[in-house]
Structure 1
Amino acid sequence: MSVSRPVSASETAELPFDLLRRRYGADQSDQTSDWNAVVETILSHRSIRAYLPEKVPESALQLIVAAAQSAPTSSSLQAWSVVAVEDPDRKAKLAELASPNPQILSAPLFLVWLADLSRLRKISVDQGKTGEGLDYFESFLLGAIDAALAAQNALVALESLGLGSCYIGGMRNHPAEVGAVLGLPPETFAVFGMTVGYPDASVETEVKPRLPQSLVLHREQYQVSAHEPALAAYDDTMRSFQAGQGMATRGWTAVAANRIADTASLKGRHVLLDVVRRMGFRTK
């Protein structure tokens, strides 16, 4: 028996001002004159953690990867790769390493996005060069940025196809063990994972409000003034959102402060540089 799929964002169009209001948790000035379907898909984004059991078609996966490869890449080095995981046992191992994280189990497809310098290292050796440029932090950062740009392109593409997704930063909790599960060669690193599947419509998921633009948009130079009133207003917005979702009403600033409070709050990631070096990166 086939499972009915959700329709794409373009088939469930919302009015532009409704999407903007939901994105910021408040009415916005008119920003809709340049509205189009791509902007609608992006502003409709929400993290999906409950999925139907239907498999993601191979054709959709290939299209998603094509979208990822259409993202910008520094110096055209394309220093990223992605591992598509569908095997239940392998997903279970990765879910356990990521906190644990049960949504990895429920998603029919799990994508692990890699900073990948291994391919460039081999090319360098084959060309009779040392590849010394790969030994510096810049190259590791380049790979992580390339992976992030590619993954975000993929996310927009898959959401336009009616699929849902959620980023999984927990891949960095135990990166060496993740590398072993995925058979990663030296100088490859799982930057994050991404659950992918058709959303379970019985589990309602709202758009989470973001910081007001006054806090993130600066003109000509960085402006520090007037942060406090804007942050207080955003805390109120987030408390309203949290109450509506049945979550603890803690606002945003307290949650953010706790997430960076101390070493323990990093969930083992404070030793990432040492682990990265043990995984073959010569980062200095």
Structure 2
Amino acid sequence: MTIALSGVLAPASARSLKEVLQSRQLRVCIVPVNSASVIVKPKDCREQCEFSGPVYEEVQAFVRNLGPGIRLKSIRIEWDEQFYDKTGRTDIEGSYTPQLLASGACDIYPSRITKNAWRLKKMDFVTLFPNRMMVVANVSRKAQLKSPADLAGLSAAVDRNTSYHSWLLEQNHGPYAAKPVKITVLKTEDSLRAVDGGKVDFTILDSDIAIWDTRYLLKHTYVAFPIGAMDEIGWAFRKDDKDLQAAAARFFAQQKQDERSELNQIWVRHHGLSLNRFITLVNSTQ
């Protein structure tokens, strides 16, 4: 398998913040995970894409924060491509810089990625918000599902190499070993449709997506309960890009100081509550 970004991989090496500012262009690779985070048209585009949604607006706000005249170059990729090595594969155990970051094709992965141990072997993160994963189930299971133990033996759909997939695999090798969850690998939106249509019993989503989808998109699902430990979601960077990471961290911190900030208002428009209020809500689930 090779990375299918023929015109995107032209840059020879990753770039520092100084080089980003000198070029007056920030390159981001965006994954259309779900309508709650980003929408891209045409559906199968790569470089000539029209993006919308909160993730794209967050990046636009960051670019404006970097200074006048900085342009945003956005490229659509698939979820697993964020972690591909030079051979176009994801090596969970390997320590390397993902090829799209190493090549300079992407300066940032902004698609709300969960920080975990295997990804930290490959990238560094700047946290945007804390998170609890949520079980989103078909309403037919509402009387049955009271705790994570009740998921054993049921069917689930999740995307490959997501934190949701990793959690289910861990449970199937541990608490659910006697009655493993039957896992179907589907893209996130296809997983949601499978749950809503009763083809599988449940899926797992990050809290921001779960709240949005069950409120605006799905008709036959509900948020059952949180699972796993509290984790962190944010933007991912090449490990050497400390200055760019620091710029993003400053931007997030400044925006969270003001309830009326651009970042908070993006969340109000798209999620119905500010980023600050969302963080308070998630922290209450501990």
State the TM-score, normalizing by the size of structure 1: 0.30
State the TM-score, normalizing by the size of structure 2: 0.30
Larger gyration radius, structure 1 or structure 2: 1
Q: Which has the higher helix share?
A: 1
Q: Which has the higher strand share?
A: 2
